[in-house]
Structure 1
């Protein structure tokens, strides 16, 4: 028997098994009234009402529906109300500039656009036929009307189009199928031990690769989901305490915000020995990993993947075999990208690029067959990341291929240099890039954000000498108040390089 895997499966199970359980606690501080607390039965009813409204608007199966929103219960419902009845959800990064938003809406050919109330002003510039403001205009629901059934469910149909974060170039539309999403969410949930006693906090933007799949698996397992609209370290700690949160996902920058807040927190840190945090987006410094355990008492987990891989490729968790190791050594081992997730194969080619294959790899790039053909060759997806596989079978990411610095003929991993810099107690963030140099070709240049204690460039160079070979030590260090990042915390190194005359 072959039954198509679709995203509706996650909601259908929740509504059947946990109808009266709290499904979502909406963000209370929004420009328009939130939805408050909804049960799984109420989420399912809203998803049906949304699908019925799309029927009435004439949006066909396969039609695209764009949502430009910060985290909200309405966005969460849309994961099911749109894709669950065969249409294609396009979650858009709300922090993009208007020309970028307009490009995505036009490129995907969206029939309908929903926007956050704070972004109502962008609607007049968008060409979609139907446009709604979430919360301010709830005409997007048609209550009491049963939506038309998806006549021929297809697990290989596109469920979402997720546009890449644009760290290097104009975003591409990543087509993720129902099968991609279903298996990614299930495998992620298996590796992270998601269960019905969990409480999940949405610190990760839901638009980003569909919240890594967490909205799906937590729904299926009856996990209450706490919506956080704006990342703030102290507020994260407050919500962990208030709601009994046990699980959250975050980029390294979010961890740093929580660690900063913990330094002035009055009383025991909430969630100690209870919270599991899953980190991705960039390999965090080993010092940061160690502090998660020492300061917060939270369990650190890391995954590696890309939007194109839905995203999970590898997973790294603390192991019983490491129990007797010093904290710093365990942190070093956890800094690796991890071992392949169930059903995923990973290898490194002769050029040092990480390749992957599995059920999570994208169907293709929307309306860009040439880009698809370049990314998937001979049955392997090219990640664009340089790396190695160590003796224990763990993938270690050395750098984005385009971010490797070639100085004096030697390859320098910016990640390695950043790790050395951030091990200094005065360094909060560091970005290492190559800048043009007549003698060396590229100069190892560090852009550093400090804690304001007055550390000097000379002190940081001396510190790095204890960790790095001479050719890897930054020859130039500049202090900054902040570093350019995407909405999900990834460093935008092409922007950092632009000021030195060697941008994208």
Structure 2
């Protein structure tokens, strides 16, 4: 028997849609459509499985998963079982995941198979119910009876979204069923909404709120896993997307990609009716660009948070007449400005507090008002503008100085492109402002007072892999890669031993399959090169490349057949993942960020290794732990043996316990990607040389600062 839902509950949203329009599309994932009936039945199966497993209402489940229909089913299933769904970014480092678990004390972990090891990390029982997925034969098994589902009330906790804001370890903002329903409700009259596109990872509140809004209106949502401009542009066009919400940075990527296509004679996205953005300052120029891309759309800017939902919005003619404003308060939201300028919010859309953190809850929720931490101004017409953060005001000589005002004044100088002003202690004045950005920064007053040792130097330049001379072996990592001369060689005995081992390892592991493997790589990349050259599309569908190559089932890349973009997965994942990792590290250390696409894979890895206090740990980043587990699980045994043996032997050689394997794959693919962008497709010799190059670059100079193996200390 199914438990009763009392009041506004998330489970009821799906049940109502399934009763009204069972065959209508609820979600599209990797080109596969799932109906509301599919989602309803799958959610019930997961709910019963959870109850049979021992889950009780109020249990907190940390959730680790890629975007998938199984994840949607677990979202609905948790709602119906009264379990708090707490999705966490699986790419967080292990100390952060442990800290989150210590704070939230989950009853169990729901982890997709590829993330199963995180259950042990958290120290809680782990489960996943893949049987909830849609039967690809076209039939869906009925939700079996047996386990009785509990009553779920609108005031019960539904989900915990993790938000770090500016305070370090992510806090879990607890949101009730009632608040989730109200946040996403489209209004009392159901209007035709058309399909929406969700680029948000599903450990973000925005993704689930957008999805629930579509499901309220019984409309479909298209999920994509990835934020590349070609991927998003293709999805917007192919699915006739009518609603799209993306951060300003994604809109800028899309606009640049559309410009690079050189298309003319019409709008890029004529089907769009709502083009939304927010979360960070949005320039008038970008808003005008969005309007050009989607001339039939209402362009809107939203301001809000996981704790308060949608607080304010700006749209229509106000976009141009009130630049810098975030609009008027939303329906059901009451705001006021405190004496210190902090924006306070009250209403039924607020969260219920931070899970497992009473101190933070008491500080954020005072007498029913949520303290946003943002300093704001409101004009006579009720339009809000965010002017800074509470606590950023600099007290100097007994006076209060607003960094934003100083930044605005400096920004007017023609030689200043970007600027940031922040405070540092000062013995004479109590505090003083420091300018960051503009010029070379070498003589800026106060820079030496920044936290010592937290600089992130530019990674050393790594030369391209040279072409080997006949009868000779070339090891690029031994060549000069620093301005003004060659690198000091690694400790002689250790370096020679590792290079010799690497040579023998490559020879032994690739000897049997080298010719077939290299020929297949060359065949696929040549086909991809032709398709890209012909279409101008940097990530054409897998089937297009395989058809061009005349390969129906290539052995080494069989696991990519279910993906929609071979190039994105095979060639860009390593480059993008390592770039994001190093950029996050750079931002944490220096407060700045570099454009990911401007660095080569080898430079990123070498830069991380050169700065890390633990070089082994530096490359054991979560994306590649996950990637190698996925590769191992999806390779057929008879075809994976040599590849798995290679990466496992590499793990032993490099001391990385198998977690290096995904990194090695990513590096090899990243290096081969150069041939698509600037050279001819790789030959068999290119493939072998690339593998040797990657191995040499990793093992020859991971520390390279002297025989004591002590790299410079950089706090992470």
The alpha-carbon deviation at position 78 of structure 1 amounts to: 2.5
The aligned counterpart of 1:161 is 160
Q: How does 1:420-431 map to 2 (within 5 A)?
A: none
2:67 and 2:201 in contact (8 A); partners too: yes
Q: 1:299 corresponds to which residue?
A: 298
**Count of equivalent residues:** 448
Indicate the structure (1 or 2) with the bigger Cα radius of gyration. Answer: 2
The alpha-carbon distance between structure 1 residues 126 and 376, as it changes in their structure 2 partners (threshold 3 A), is closer
Secondary structure in 1 matching 2:167: coil
Report which of the two has the higher share of helix. 2
1:161·1:173 contact (CA, 8 Å) conserved in 2? Answer: yes
1:380 Cα offset (Å): 1.2
Note if contact 1:289-1:335 (Cα within 8 Å) is conserved in structure 2.
no
**Which of the residues 197, 203, 211 maps onto 1:207?**
203
Conserved? CA contact 2:198–2:223, under 8 Å? yes
Q: How does 1:352-363 map to 2 (within 5 A)?
A: 352-363=341-352
Cα separation, 1, equivalents of 2:206 and 2:184: 10
Structure 1 segment 40-439 matched on structure 2, within 5 A: 40-116=36-112, 119-132=115-128, 144-146=143-145, 148-186=147-185, 189-190=186-187, 195-209=191-205, 211=207, 213-267=209-263, 268-272=266-270, 274-297=272-295, 298-309=297-308, 311-319=309-317, 330-331=319-320, 333=322, 335-404=324-393, 409=399, 411-414=401-404, 417=407, 432-434=420-422, 436=424
CA distance in 2, matches of 1:231, 1:23: 22
Separation in structure 2 between the aligned mates of residue 231 and residue 419 of structure 1, nearest angstrom: 35
C-alpha separation between the residues in 1 aligned to 2:182 and 2:380?
Answer: 28
Change (3 A) 1:118 1:3: closer
Gaps of 5+ in 1: 29-35, 323-329, 449-455, 459-477
Query: Is residue 2:21 matched to residue 1:22?
Result: no
Counterparts of 2:588 and 2:341, CA distance in 1? 21
Pick the aligned partner of 1:10 from 9, 13, 33.
13
CA distance 1:137–1:300, shift in 2 (3 Å): closer
Distance 1:493 1:88 in 2: 32
**Deviation of the 1:220 alpha carbon:** 1.7
Structure 1 residues 415, 283: closer, same or farther in 2, change over 3 A? farther
* 1:445 maps onto 2:435 in alignment: yes
Contact map agreement 1:346 1:356 (CA 8 A) in 2: yes
Per the alignment, residue 466 of structure 1 pairs with none
- Shift in CA distance, 344/445, structure 1 to aligned 2, threshold 3 Å: same
Question: 1:231-268 CA deviation, whole Å, 9 max, x = no partner?
Answer: 11221111000000011222222222212212212434
Distance apart, 1:340 and its partner CA:
1.3
- Please provide the CA RMSD for this pair: 4.2
* Post-superposition offset of 1:76: 2.5
Tell me the TM-score normalised to structure 2 length: 0.55
Alignment TM-score, normalising by the size of structure 1: 0.77
**How many angstroms apart in 1 are the aligned matches of 2:356 and 2:230?**
43
1:245 aligned counterpart, secondary structure: coil
Cα distance in structure 2, aligned partners of 1:276 and 1:303? 12
The 10-residue stretch of structure 1 (382-391 or 152-161) with the greater mean CA deviation from structure 2 = 152-161
Residue 376 of structure 2 aligns to a residue in which SS? strand
Give the 3-state SS of the residue equivalent to 2:153 in structure 1.
coil
Deviates more, 1:143-152 or 1:359-368: 143-152
- Alignment deviations for residues 463-482 of structure 1 (CA, whole Å, 9 cap, x no partner): xxxxxxxxxxxxxxx99999
Q: Find the counterpart in structure 2 of residue 470 from structure 1.
A: none
Name the one with the larger strand percent.
Answer: 1
Q: 1:158 to 1:14 in 2, by over 3 A?
A: same
1:370 is paired with a residue of what secondary structure?
helix
With over 3 angstroms needed to count, the CA separation of the structure-2 counterparts of 1:91 and 1:235, relative to structure 1, is same
Call closer, same or farther: CA 1:3–1:48 in 2, change over 3 Å. closer
Equivalent residue of 2:261, what SS? coil
* Alpha-carbon distance between aligned partners in 2 of 1:118 and 1:111, rounded to the nearest angstrom: 20
Contact 1:365/1:372 (CA < 8 Å) preserved in 2? yes
The CA distance in 2 between the partners of 1:207 and 1:199, in whole Å, is 21
1:5 counterpart SS class: coil
Distance 1:492 1:184 in 2: 35
CA shift, 1:55, in A, is 1.5
Preserved contact between residue 48 and residue 147 of structure 1 (Cα < 8 Å)? no
